[in-house]
A and B are shown apart, each in its own frame.
Chain A
Amino acid sequence: MSSTAGAAGRSGIAPAGPRPGSRWARRIRYYLPAVLVFAGGIIGWEVAVTALGLKGFVLPRPSAIVSALIENLNSPRFGLLPSARATLIEALGGLAIGTTTGVVVALATARWATARGVLLPVAVAANAVPIIAFAPILNNWFGLENPLAKMMMAAVLVFFPVMANVTRGLVQVDPAALELMRSTAASEWQILRKVRIPNALPYFFTAMKLATTLSLIGAIVGEYFGGASLVLGRIIVQSSSALRFDITWAAILLAAVTGIVFYLAVVALERVVIPWHASMRATETA
């Protein structure tokens, strides 16, 4: 065939991207304020608590929180590490259940207009309902000590944004793209695979970023209404009622760090899966 000496494989004319050196410098300059605020905040907090002689009750010094964290990683009463692990498993289980059902229902919804007519209003209504109120019911259904109860709480919280977002991504396709596909007499299945699903991927990742946080919140809310003792939600309740606020904060810190790591994992996955998307390009040039 008519080849022009492998020119097609060479990406010599890349878009004017930032040079590597300046890119790092720029990135550091970009994140510097946030880092400074963090460092300043921690130091200020530490100094304020010490200098003003505040009773380290509600707001213990950061150093006290860190030492509480280290001391109680495996303590019998407030074992933070096994608790975090148990909570994370609940959250992950819920995330898996909620995401899978959400995507499956979205595919059905996008395929059949009747299903869309019934399910989208439900999703809208469900958004307005304080779903956490259902946590006691789920605990009653699956048993207080059963991790499945917490997983279901997380799954319900995850389900609606995933389902609503993915449906939107599958349905809101550029009409011209559909015309193009029709002009080549593509089948519905081909349109789904080649247009709708790729189009829905950015929406899916948006939902997943929300879902990571929601799954953790769901698990902890479920625990809050009762459950096994070595989970983050119970640690928080018990340590604060024992006025051990350093441990409460350590547990909160652990929950927050888990949530952030969880979130960043999805962001990393997103960069790998949809490098072409505009949101990915924006972070490069920001």
Chain B
Amino acid sequence: MTSATAARGPLGRAEISSADGRGRRRSVVTYLLVLAIIFVVWEGIKFLGGVPWREPGAAPGSPVLWNPPFRWPIANDLKLPHVWTILLSFGEPWQPAVSSENLGQYLLGAALYTWREAAIGFVLGALLGLALATIFVHVRLLERALVPYVIASQTIPIIALAPLIVFAVGQGIFAVVIIATYLTFFPVTIAMIRGLRSVDPRAIELMRSYAASRTEIYWKVRLPASLPYLFTALKISATASIVGAIIGEDTGGIQQGLGRVITTFNQYYATGPEKLWAAIIVASLLGVAFFLVIRAAEIAVLRGRPGAAAG
């Protein structure tokens, strides 16, 4: 995820930015800097146009620490809670009347649950995408016949199909996995059609000169050459599978996952906006974490290849 990335000019030259420790440390610093900027802008808006600042968690009547000069509707505590209010909410029980489990633990459990669904869908979707691409690359007729529909399938918002899928296979984890698969297979199919074709034609001629079979050419030339494309697609699919799981849970009647948590906290937004924000932050972190897992796998698998450092 280095920022300067590999610039592949038309001449096929690749300029690779430093992927060494120094570069990575710098990108960590950059991300911290970005977070700091977001924090400053966020609280800056509240500083100028929010409601009076009080100590976190204090009762409405407690002393005012700061009275902002303006009152912007967008900056009130309902629409834009204080960053610390959101962060502190992680440590507080989310259902004080029922249990002492704090919000952080609850969201972590929900995130892991969602991640499990997403991961199953991710694996199935990646395999499906790989299989489809392999077929399409070898049988041109099928490619011409079916690829338009693979593409068209993505113009249908998954959120529209979700209720139908749930109704067809019944509520439960299976429906969620199907939805995650549906979102995952597409990037892999499209990227792998290109990736499997990205082989230098001379390399295939070379293999033919050894009388290698199509299967051998596939395993020894096409697939290795396509790996960078595969990982690019998998990184997109990782996020997509989480999106699919979150959407699927809501319609699929799954109670334990992040999707339902987001819907519930959305309904109770008026009484606890920080909880919805916390859930969204966790969902974001889950997406980033899954992305990083794939990225780590990419670095391990593509080690030593030119351009492997690019994010």
Contacts and interface: CB of A to CB of B under 8 A. Distances in A.
A–B contact with Cβ pairs below 8 Å: the answer is: yes
Interface of A: 30-31, 33-34, 36-38, 57-59, 116-118, 120-122, 124-125, 127-130, 132-134, 136-137, 140-141, 171-176, 213, 216-217, 220-221, 224-225, 232-233, 236-237, 240-241, 245, 248-249, 251-252, 255-256, 259-260, 263
Minimum-distance CB pairs A-B, first 4: A259-B155, A33-B145, A128-B291, A240-B163
Contacts of A57: 167
A236 B291 CA distance: 31
Nearest to A127: B239
Nearest to A199: B10
A127 B78 CA distance: 27
Interface in B156-202: 156-161, 163-164, 167-168
A137 B277 contact: yes
B45 interface: no
Contacts of A217: 157-159
Contacts of B104: none
B39 to A, nearest CB: 14
A129 B37 contact: no
Given A121-B1, A124-B1, A37 B7 contact: no
A239 B277 CA distance: 30
Given A241-B163, A256-B155, A140 B269 contact: yes
A233 B156 CA distance: 11
Nearest to B80: A141
Contact of B3 (A30, A120, A216, A260): A120
Measured as residues with beta carbon below 8 angstroms from the partner, the interface class of chain B is 35 or more
Given A127-B236, A128-B287, A128-B290, A137 B154 contact: no
A213 B163 contact: no
A141 B157 contact: no
B280 A137 contact: yes
Contacts of A136: 262-263, 266, 269, 276
Contacts of B269: 136, 140
Nearest to B118: A130
A133 B9 contact: no
Most buried by B among A120, A133, A260: A133
A222 B71 CA distance: 27
Most buried by B among A116, A120, A141, A259: A120
Contact of A248 (B13, B164, B292): B164
11 contacts: A38-B149, A117-B30, A121-B30, A121-B34, A128-B288, A132-B247, A140-B266, A220-B159, A224-B159, A256-B156, A259-B156
Given A174-B11, A176-B11, A255-B156, A132 B246 contact: yes
Interface in B9-38: 9-11, 13, 27, 30-31, 33-34, 37
Contacts of B78: 140
B133 interface: no
B164 A134 contact: no
A127 B269 CA distance: 26
Given A34-B148, A58-B168, A213-B155, A141 B79 contact: yes
A121 B288 contact: no
Contacts of B273: 140
Contacts of B235: 127-128
Interface string B29-53: 0110110010000000000000000
B167 A58 contact: yes
Contacts of B291: 127-128
